[in-house]
Structure 1
Amino acid sequence: MFSRRQFFRSIGGLTALTASTSAYGFGVEPVLRLRVTRYHLTPPRWPVDFPLKIAVIADLHACDPWMSLERIETIVARTNALEPDIIVMLGDYVAGHRHVTRFIPASEWAAVLANLKAPLGVHAILGNHDYWDDKTVQREGQGLTVAHRALEANGIPVYENDAKRLTKAGRPFWLAGLGDQLAYMPARRFRPVRRIGVDDLGATLAKVTDDAPVILLAHEPDVALRVPSRVALQLSGHTHGGQVRLLGWSPAVPPRQGVELAYGHLRTNCDVIVSGGLGCSIMPFRIGVPPEIVLVTLGKSGPAMA
């Protein structure tokens, strides 16, 4: 079975068969297309009469020319126009490949993201590339990443195995953010690594102190196989929907324990939504999974869905 990296290395040869497919995959879908993907659901652990609109931004991978500051500004404007109650960002803000003309500094992309606005705020977790790109953190095995510091300097809280109780119209819910599950994979080049992740699901959920519903942010969706039914909804990114998705199949993202975790809405112990993300990793190439902002509407308002 191909690894994800091997799959994308083979794309160049495969797409050479048709110049039009190659041009579309490199130049149109990753750069020019942007859609809003909407989900309306009421998970078992979410009150039916509690409407909440969540805008989800995942996997920006800021870099020129593929995810320029101007394109991020467009994403910010489109997200704000959705008028969500809350905005969550699921990590991987830094470039995910080397096919770039400029690596955009964290201070620049974070300043643009600071223009996101929602009544219940903007909340973030980190992704694996935010850790992998920080060589100092990889060598030392600790510390706040450049991405973490840039987000918080611009007023955006970053959750790492933490949870916060929020309210909308007097109705409480918890927003929990998991540490990245692949954070220290590159650190093995520098020193022995006992554990590559900084995630602690048990400690994160232990911070939930009442029976209000829980929304879990987890960059990699794989943890869904361990998330208890106490969680109403898990929101994840990382996979980019496979970046190549053919007739509902993402060849670069094989099932985990028989569960398809590449893209879309599924149910394990809780409801899970995996975003197709906005940028690209390994190669600046997308087919069948356009960049997307996700809008999740939970609960119902009156006889019609909010």
Structure 2
Amino acid sequence: MFRHWKGLLAAGLAALVGGTACWARFGETSRLVLRREEVALPAAARPFTIALFSDTHLGRYGDARSLRRVAALIGDQQPDLVVFAGDFFDAYRRDQELLDLDELAAILAEIEAPFGKYAVWGNHDRGGGAHRVYGELMERGGFTLLQNQAVALPDLGLVLGGLDDALLGRPDFSLSLEGEGLRVLVAHEPGPAAEQVPGAHLILSGHTHGGQLGLPLVRDLLLPPGSGSYAKGSYPLGEERSLQVTSGVGVTKVPARLFDPPEVVLLQIVPGQKSPS
């Protein structure tokens, strides 16, 4: 009898492990969710929305169809501003024959935002041969690529800055975000930006993939260099400052996600009360 139950238990565990692995490989990776966050910032002059997406990692494990789903989801939200936080490609030199740049640029161009579309470099855009095509592709798609640059968006009451990639690029952590109102910084890796750019009221990042496998303890071990102590979601950075990290859309290295579905983040920025002096 004991051997019978032992055999059933072993079979059940094998089925559970197999089913979980199958879901992580094919089920979770095929999802796309919208995560909504309200961010109250005293420096904000007016309410507005930002659609944040990152880490599409197009190539072996992501294609034009997945990008088209992202574009459609963003379009449904009608955001005021769209931000891409880097890693458009996974390994461009390896996967370039799988990708039609004209098609990808056309899909990016379909994304609309009345106050602009902006992007920064990710480490996979700097490496793997993608540096030769990434900048031109984003420009063709209507995105302004911010490389240690800042632009004023007076109609939204903010200054928006973007850093070069921290791992393979040359980020300028002294980038000036001077100007009236809200100061927003886009940086692919959250760790260095959160630690070295105290002047930003809001930092937008990707890179982490949420660990891809959102299991306790395991997730933190899988976070890539540059993540710092940030995995996914909203993090206060002290008084009147905030960090938003998206776990992104695609996968890299391991084509699987678990408890961490691909996402687009819709940030509702609202004016917040200032802390008493």
Letter in 2 for 1:37: R
1:112 maps to: 107
1:283 to 1:159, Cα distance in 2 relative to 1, 3 A = same
CA shift for structure 1 position 111:
2.4
Structure 1 partner of 2:9: none
| Secondary structure of 2:181's aligned partner | coil
> Helix, strand or coil: the match of 1:201?
coil
Instruction: Give the alignment of 1:67-216 within 5 angstroms.
Output: 67-96=62-91, 103-134=98-129, 145-168=132-155, 171-183=156-168, 197-202=169-174, 204-205=175-176, 208-216=177-185
Distance verdict in 2 for CA 1:27–1:80, change over 3 Å: same
Partner of 1:227: 197
Instruction: Report the alpha carbon displacement of residue 300 of structure 1 after superposing the two structures with TM.
Output: 5.0
1:235-268 deviation line (CA, Å, top 9, x unaligned): 00001111011148623128989x6211111122
Q: Residue deviations 1:211-239, cap 9 Å, x none?
A: 321110000111211121x3110000001
Between structure 1 and structure 2, the one with the greater Rg is 2
C-alpha deviations, 1:61-89, integer Å up to 9, x for none? 1125x322122111101101111100000
**Equivalence for 1:62:** 58
State the percentage of identical aligned residues.
31
Q: Secondary structure at the match of 2:159?
A: strand
Cα distance change on mapping 1:156 and 1:212 into 2, 3 Å: same
The amino acid across from 1:159 in the alignment is L
Whole-angstrom distance in 1 between the partners of 2:73 and 2:211 = 24
Structure-2 residue corresponding to 1:298: 269
Structure 1's unaligned 5+ residue stretches are 1-14, 136-143, 184-196, 302-306
Displacement of 1:18:
1.6
1:261: which partner in 2? 230
- Cα distance between partner residues in 2 of 1:227 and 1:105: 37
**Structure ranking higher in helix proportion:** 2
Cα distance change on mapping 1:107 and 1:283 into 2, 3 Å: farther
Q: What secondary structure, in the 3-state scheme, does the structure 2 residue paired with 1:28 have?
A: helix
Aligned partners of 1:273, 1:175: CA distance in 2, in Å?
A: 15
Aligned twin of 2:32: 34
Contact residue 35 and residue 290 of structure 1 kept, 8 A: yes
CA distance in 1, matches of 2:224, 2:96: 31
Q: After superposition, what is the alpha-carbon deviation per residue over 1:169-216, rounded to whole angstroms, capped at 9, x for unaligned?
A: xx5211100000112xxxxxxxxxxxxx310021x22xx342321110
Query: Which whole-Å deviations, capped at 9, do the CAs of 1:113-170 have from their partners, x for residues lacking one?
Result: 11110111111111000111227xxxxxxxx6311111113332100000000133xx
- How far apart, CA to CA, are the structure 2 residues paired with 1:166 and 1:70? 32
Q: State the TM-score, normalizing by the size of structure 2.
A: 0.83
The answer on whether the counterparts of 2:93 and 2:128 sit within 8 Å (CA) in structure 1 is: no
| 1:285 is the counterpart of 2:272 | no
Aligned to 2:24: 25
Relative to structure 1, the CA distance from residue 129 to residue 256 in structure 2 (aligned partners, 3 Å threshold; closer, same or farther) is closer
Distance in 1 (CA, whole Å) between partners of 2:23 and 2:218 is 19
- Contact kept, 8 Å, 2:205 with 2:246, in 1: the verdict is yes
Query: Structure 1 residues 248, 278: CA separation in 2 closer, same or farther (over 3 Å shift)?
Result: farther
Q: Measure how far apart 1:29 and its partner are.
A: 0.7
**Equivalent position SS for 1:73:** helix
**One-letter identity of the residue aligned with 1:217:** V
| Separation of aligned partners in 1, 2:267 and 2:132 | 29
Q: How far is 1:100 from its partner? A: 7.3
* Unmatched runs of 5 consecutive residues or more in structure 2: 1-13, 273-277
- Whether contact under 8 Å (1:97, 1:282) holds in the other structure is no
2:210 corresponds to: 241
Q: Number of paired residues?
A: 255
1:96–1:280 Cα contact (<8 Å) kept: no
Separation of aligned partners in 2, 1:56 and 1:281: 19
Q: Which amino acid aligns with 1:50?
A: R
The 2-side partners of 1:23 and 1:101 are apart by 28
Partner letter of residue 29 of structure 1? E
Kept in 1: contact 2:81–2:115 (CA 8 A): yes
